[in-house]
């Protein structure tokens, strides 16, 4: 399992949208929304069907009707070193618990091996696929309830502190299950997601996207802040990685296109993988979807000459509890 929570049934005739100004499906501490600065509206975040030449569609391997349109990239034969590293792109959502659960292995990989891990934050699938006119796309009725059970279990299995997000980074009517509409608030009613995505875009422009996710995601998903209070701690987290929060917010307000260009490019690149869920890790264009595909990514990197660094680099990470064996498997 690797998708972010997305339990959005199609709106039925006569179903009324919730009052987005008063609904509180997850706990928010009093004043949490007040710490979010006023920011310019974002352009339309909706994504539709991926391009027909996306990686997955041009490399399918059905065996039953034709060969893949394109062969897999040739295996690297060069010596991999600090001067000649491998590169992995990671399409990541601040609203995805499974993105968070992949983060520490990705950071350890970046710190201890000759591979550059490039975190590229995109908007969550729930807002990317919310249809215009307020209609949300068809959801998976079973998924949200399963994910709220599976993600804490996965955290315990992986040895990663985990607590489901309160408040949810997006506003969605998903509680109580069985009674809610599952609808997602329109972007102009979303209190948090534009803020944390644009801050991630600022971090990416400063070469600090990995550090940003390591600082902010544990506040949201890892019990790094008291229940309901993670928004109060974002400013300090941003400053802790060497960014100037006030300067970034000022620049986002002055130059929103500069930051929107980042997430739009990230989403365009994500579409080209042929995937729709996160985290999606991409090596030489090949997508590995889900935190439970990390070992397969590691196996592919080893096939392409992955080597360990002589000295770990920042951010320094402890070896994860569940780390692939030397063969690249479990």
- Walk across the sheet containing 115-121 and list its strands: 115-121, 86-92, 280-283, 286-289
Q: Is 6 a residue whose pLDDT tops 70?
A: no
Q: Which helix (H) or strand (E) holds 266?
A: helix 256-273
Q: What is the pTM of this model?
A: 0.92
CA-to-CA distance for 229 and 32, rounded, in angstroms? 7
Query: 33 vs 65, which has greater pLDDT?
Result: 33
Q: How confident is the model at residue 35 (pLDDT cuts 50, 70, 90)?
A: very high
pLDDT at 48: 75
Q: Which residues, 6+ apart, have CB-to-CB distance to 2 below 8 Å? A: 98, 277, 278, 279, 289, 290, 291, 292, 293
Q: Which helix (H) or strand (E) holds 148?
A: helix 143-158
Radius of gyration of the chain (CA): 20
CA-to-CA distance for 35 and 23, rounded, in angstroms? 19
pLDDT at 7: 45
Q: Which of 19-23, 55-59, 145-149, 251-255 has the highest mean pLDDT?
A: 251-255
pLDDT averaged over the chain?
89
Average of per-residue pLDDT across 277-303: 97
Per-residue pLDDT tens digits for 118-158:
999 999 988 988 764 444 444 566 677 888 899 999 999 99
Per-residue pLDDT tens digits for 80-110:
999 999 999 999 999 999 999 999 999 999 9
Lowest mean pLDDT: which of 27-41, 69-83, 124-138, 221-235?
124-138
Average of per-residue pLDDT across 281-294: 97
Q: Which residues, 6+ apart, have CB-to-CB distance to 276 below 8 Å? A: 50, 125
Cβ atoms 1, 150 nearer than 8 A: yes
Query: Looking at 151-240, which runs of residues are DSSP E strands?
Result: none
Per CATH, the number for 88-303 is 3.40.30.10
Q: What are phi and psi of 282, to 5 degrees?
A: -125, 125
Q: How confident is the model at residue 327 (pLDDT cuts 50, 70, 90)?
A: low
Per-residue pLDDT tens digits for 177-202:
777 878 889 999 999 999 999 999 99
Q: Is 8 a residue whose pLDDT tops 80?
A: no
Residue 261 CB: number of other CB atoms within 10 A?
A: 14
Average of per-residue pLDDT across 35-58: 90
Q: Report which of 302, 202, 208, 292 is spatially closest to residue 246, judged by C-alpha positions.
A: 202
Show me where the domains of the chain are located. Answer: 88-303
Q: Is 79 a residue whose pLDDT tops 70?
A: yes
Average of per-residue pLDDT across 24-31: 93
């Amino acid at each position: 399992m690797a998708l972010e929570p997305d339990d959005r049934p199609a709106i039925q005739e006569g179903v009324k949208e919730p009052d987005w100004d008063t609904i509180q499906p997850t706990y928010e501490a009093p004043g949490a929304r007040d710490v979010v600065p006023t920011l310019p509206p974002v352009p339309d975040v909706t994504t539709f069907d991926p391009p027909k030449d996306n990686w997955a569609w041009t490399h399918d391997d059905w065996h039953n009707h034709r060969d893949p349109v394109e062969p897999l990239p040739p295996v690297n034969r060069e010596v991999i070193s600090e001067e000649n590293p491998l590169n992995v792109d990671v399409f990541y959502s601040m609203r995805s618990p499974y993105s968070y659960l992949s983060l520490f292995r990705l950071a350890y990989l970046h710190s201890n091996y000759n591979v550059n891990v490039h975190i590229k934050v995109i908007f969550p699938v729930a807002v990317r696929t919310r249809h215009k006119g307020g209609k949300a796309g068809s959801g998976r009725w079973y998924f949200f309830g399963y994910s709220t059970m599976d993600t804490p279990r996965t955290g315990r299995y992986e040895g990663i502190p985990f607590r489901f997000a309160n408040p949810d980074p997006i506003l969605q009517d998903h509680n109580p299950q069985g009674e809610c509409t599952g609808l997602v608030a329109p972007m102009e009613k979303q209190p948090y997601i534009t803020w944390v995505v644009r801050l991630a875009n600022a971090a990416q422009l400063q070469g600090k996207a990995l550090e940003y996710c390591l600082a902010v995601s544990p506040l949201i998903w890892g019990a790094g802040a008291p229940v309901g209070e993670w928004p109060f701690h974002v400013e300090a987290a941003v400053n802790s990685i060497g960014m100037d929060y006030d300067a970034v917010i000022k620049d986002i307000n002055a130059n929103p296109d500069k930051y929107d260009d980042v997430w739009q490019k990230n989403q365009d690149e994500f579409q080209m993988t042929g995937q729709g869920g996160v985290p999606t890790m991409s090596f030489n264009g090949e997508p590995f979807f889900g935190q439970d595909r990390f070992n397969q990514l590691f196996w592919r990197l080893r096939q392409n000459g992955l080597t360990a660094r002589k000295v770990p680099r920042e951010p320094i990470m402890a070896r994860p509890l569940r780390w692939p064996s030397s063969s690249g498997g479990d």
